[in-house]
């Protein structure tokens, strides 16, 4: 063998072996395409915490119960999008949190879980919405959780702590982002902030219209910057919004997305917008199948809203994805699987609402009657007694992210599983590869397998600054 060829080959192999598997599999940084830089606008859609089973079950529910395929899956059927699998890891784990995941999209780097666009040595990476804002585009974020939560924040700010939401609310004001719609009154209201700062006043002085209810959306004027805060904490789950009158004046995600698009679409230099279904993640943490499916379907309606605009506009890159999986729900084999799954259509409320209503003095009969009213599930006495034991202190309280009242989410999901044939592997994030779809100018840049930071690079190549 020629010794020089051998040494050259050895050096090449040695270089390859220093790369991580995700680097070997990632194609985003090597793309060269003559059609790049054609998009005027970007709409980046995130169904937070959406495992593939969530996407599948929402489509199955839509077909079986609503009589139509989901909008996301119809994009695949109609071959309107390019499609990829994505590795979602963070800098310090194969399983990411939303802050690190959003930083991969927003900052183009993998950071440690819990941080927003802050590198290992404290270096700050300029978030992508700031880059586009400085280039003259309008920029906005829409979410069903607090507007200062990790996913919107990852596109906009640098913070060593994702939970620094009062400070993130102030950062947004300094950046003068054009549209901010979601929840989180406690981070803007002086009566609820520890420092008593009136951020609503700060935003008003900067020319923002403050929105608090669905009706306020009718008062918007062209050219105004918008701060819409529609709840303390997150917005209500979609299924509760449908059935509970106290939530009737809360806008749905699709309506918020349309509001943001309409407010920015005429800007001559274009716009960038993030649309997040944040409570898909929260419902997965609670193993709450009705909340999960209905919030995923609400996201799916937002997909239609965005695609209706993008197809007509012709200059908008749309990216539809998730930041990570969560709880990996899925349907379970059995002779009654279809009938059992379809019974979810009888559920009127979230598990959170149902379990919150049970009181210490509820008898076994009271619990059985209430569960039947909420889910059309007939409990046996042992199941009702087991639930009752959580409320009279005989069972250990359940922990879990977003389980603020320590409700028996896991126990109740196991009771439901026996009737609806849906199982869960956990109550937390997973490291599974996830779906990505892209439409519009630049969608040809999406390769079959990518890592999360590649979407940052794709946006910059498709929509030049």
User: Are residues 417 and 438 part of one domain?
Assistant: no
Q: Residue 403: its pLDDT value, please?
A: 72
> What values do phi and psi take at 206, rounded to 5?
-90, 5
pLDDT (average), residues 39-46:
98
Q: Residue 7: its pLDDT value, please?
A: 37
- Using CA atoms, how far apart are residues 324 and 431, in angstroms rounded to an integer? 7
User: Are residues 268 and 133 part of one domain?
Assistant: yes
User: Are residues 162 and 71 part of one domain?
Assistant: yes
Could you report the per-residue pLDDT of 282-313, keeping only the tens digit for each? 999 999 999 999 999 999 999 999 999 999 99
The total domain count for the chain is 2
pLDDT at 395 over 90: no
Q: How many angstroms separate the Cα of 49 from the Cα of each of 246, 282, 437?
A: 27, 8, 16
- Residue 6 is assigned to a structural domain of this protein: no
pLDDT at 223 over 90: no
Q: Where does the pLDDT of residue 36 fall: very low under 50, low under 70, confident under 90, or very high at 90 and above?
A: low
> What values do phi and psi take at 276, rounded to 5?
-125, 130
pLDDT at 255 over 80: yes
- Using CA atoms, how far apart are residues 286 and 327, in angstroms rounded to an integer? 9
Q: How many angstroms separate the Cα of 443 from the Cα of each of 37, 288, 439?
A: 11, 34, 5
User: Are residues 261 and 153 part of one domain?
Assistant: yes
User: Are residues 208 and 121 part of one domain?
Assistant: yes
Q: Residue 281: its pLDDT value, please?
A: 98
User: Are residues 299 and 418 part of one domain?
Assistant: no
Which residue carries 């009181």 as its tokens? Answer: 359
CA-based nearest residue to 349, from 375, 384, 387: 375
pLDDT at 361 over 60: yes
User: Are residues 435 and 364 part of one domain?
Assistant: no
Q: How many angstroms separate the Cα of 8 from the Cα of each of 12, 16, 24, 143, 238?
A: 6, 13, 19, 52, 60
- Residue 15 is assigned to a structural domain of this protein: no
Which residue carries 């090449």 as its tokens? Answer: 12
- Residue 336 is assigned to a structural domain of this protein: no
Mean pLDDT is lowest, of 105-114, 207-216, 389-398, for 389-398
pLDDT at 26 over 60: no
Q: Residue 397: its pLDDT value, please?
A: 72
User: Are residues 285 and 198 part of one domain?
Assistant: yes
- Residue 94 is assigned to a structural domain of this protein: yes
User: Are residues 243 and 124 part of one domain?
Assistant: yes
Given a contact cutoff of 8 angstroms between Cβ atoms, the answer to whether 427 and 286 are in contact is yes
Instruction: Kindly write down the DSSP assignment for every residue of 407-441, as one continuous string.
Output: --HHHHHHHHHHHH-EE-S-SSEE---EEEEEEST
Q: Residue 432: its pLDDT value, please?
A: 97
- The three-point CA angle 64-67-70 to 5° equals 85
- Using CA atoms, how far apart are residues 286 and 269, in angstroms rounded to an integer? 42
pLDDT (average), residues 236-250:
96
- Using CA atoms, how far apart are residues 436 and 84, in angstroms rounded to an integer? 5
Q: Using only the alpha carbons of the chain, give its radius of gyration.
A: 23
CA-based nearest residue to 447, from 83, 92, 35, 51: 83
Other CB atoms within a 10 A radius of the CB of residue 78 amount to 9
For the chain, give the longest Cα–Cα distance.
86
Give SS3 for 10: helix
User: Are residues 362 and 277 part of one domain?
Assistant: no
Q: What is the CATH number of the domain that holds 212?
A: 3.40.720.10
pLDDT at 18 over 90: no
User: Are residues 403 and 432 part of one domain?
Assistant: no
Q: Residue 21: its pLDDT value, please?
A: 38
Q: Where does the pLDDT of residue 24 fall: very low under 50, low under 70, confident under 90, or very high at 90 and above?
A: very low
pLDDT (average), residues 399-428:
90
Q: Residue 441: its pLDDT value, please?
A: 97
Q: Where does the pLDDT of residue 394 fall: very low under 50, low under 70, confident under 90, or very high at 90 and above?
A: low
Q: Which domain holds residue 395?
A: 347-423
- Residue 311 is assigned to a structural domain of this protein: yes
- Residue 7 is assigned to a structural domain of this protein: no
Strands 82-87 and 449-451: parallel
Could you report the per-residue pLDDT of 116-155, keeping only the tens digit for each? 999 999 999 999 999 999 999 999 999 999 999 999 999 9
Element (H, E) at 180: strand 179-183
User: Are residues 310 and 258 part of one domain?
Assistant: yes
> What values do phi and psi take at 181, rounded to 5?
-130, 125
Beta bridge partners of 317: 42
- Using CA atoms, how far apart are residues 180 and 121, in angstroms rounded to an integer? 31
- Residue 388 is assigned to a structural domain of this protein: yes
- Residue 36 is assigned to a structural domain of this protein: yes
* Average pLDDT value over all residues in the chain: 92
Share of the chain above pLDDT 70, in %: 91
Q: Residue 406: its pLDDT value, please?
A: 83
Instruction: Kindly write down the DSSP assignment for every residue of 191-212, as one continuous string.
Output: TTSTT---HHHHHHHTTEEEE-
Q: Residue 464: its pLDDT value, please?
A: 87
Could you report the per-residue pLDDT of 86-115, keeping only the tens digit for each? 999 999 999 999 999 999 999 999 999 999
């Amino acid at each position: 063998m020629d010794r020089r060829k051998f040494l050259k080959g050895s050096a090449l192999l040695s270089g390859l072996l220093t790369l991580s598997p995700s680097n070997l599999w990632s194609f985003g940084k090597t793309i060269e395409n003559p059609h790049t830089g054609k998009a005027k606008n970007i709409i980046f859609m995130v169904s937070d915490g959406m495992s593939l089973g969530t996407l599948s079950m929402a489509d199955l529910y839509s077909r079986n119960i609503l009589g139509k395929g989901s909008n996301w899956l119809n994009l695949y059927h109609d071959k309107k999008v390019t499609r990829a699998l994505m590795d979602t890891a963070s800098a310090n784990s194969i399983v990411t949190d939303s802050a690190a995941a959003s930083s991969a999209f927003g900052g183009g780097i993998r950071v440690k879980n819990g941080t927003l666009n802050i590198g290992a040595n404290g270096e700050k990476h300029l978030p992508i919405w700031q880059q586009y804002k400085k280039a003259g585009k309008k920029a906005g974020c829409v979410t069903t959780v607090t507007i200062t939560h990790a996913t919107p924040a990852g596109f906009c700010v640098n913070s060593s702590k994702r939970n620094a939401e009062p400070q993130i609310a102030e950062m947004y004001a300094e950046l003068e982002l054009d549209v901010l719609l979601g929840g989180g009154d406690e981070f803007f209201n002086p009566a609820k902030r520890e420092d008593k700062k009136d951020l609503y006043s700060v935003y008003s002085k900067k020319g923002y219209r403050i929105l608090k209810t669905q009706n306020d959306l009718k008062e918007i004027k062209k050219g105004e910057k918008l701060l819409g805060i529609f709840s303390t904490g997150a917005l209500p789950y979609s299924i509760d919004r449908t059935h509970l009158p106290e939530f009737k004046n809360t806008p749905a995600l699709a309506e918020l997305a349309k509001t943001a698009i309409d407010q920015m679409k005429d800007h001559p230099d274009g716009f960038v917008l993030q649309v997040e279904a944040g409570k898909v993640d929260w419902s997965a943490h609670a193993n709450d199948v009705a909340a999960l499916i209905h919030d995923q379907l609400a996201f799916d309606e937002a997909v239609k809203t965005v695609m209706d605009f993008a197809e007509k506009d012709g200059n908008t890159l749309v990216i539809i994805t998730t930041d990570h999986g969560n709880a990996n729900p899925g349907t379970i084999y059995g002779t009654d699987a279809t009938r059992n799954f379809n019974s979810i259509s009888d559920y009127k409320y979230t598990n959170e609402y149902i379990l919150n209503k049970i009181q210490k003095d509820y008898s076994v009969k009271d619990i059985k009657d209430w569960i039947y009213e909420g889910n059309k599930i007939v409990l046996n006495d042992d199941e009702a007694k087991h639930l009752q034991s959580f409320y009279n202190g005989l069972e250990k309280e359940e922990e879990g992210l977003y389980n603020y009242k320590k409700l028996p989410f896991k126990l109740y999901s196991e009771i439901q599983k026996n009737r609806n044939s849906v199982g869960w592997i956990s109550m937390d994030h997973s490291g599974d590869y996830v779906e990505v779809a892209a439409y519009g100018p630049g969608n040809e840049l999406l390769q079959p397998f990518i890592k999360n930071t590649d979407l940052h690079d794709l946006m910059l190549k498709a929509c030049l600054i």
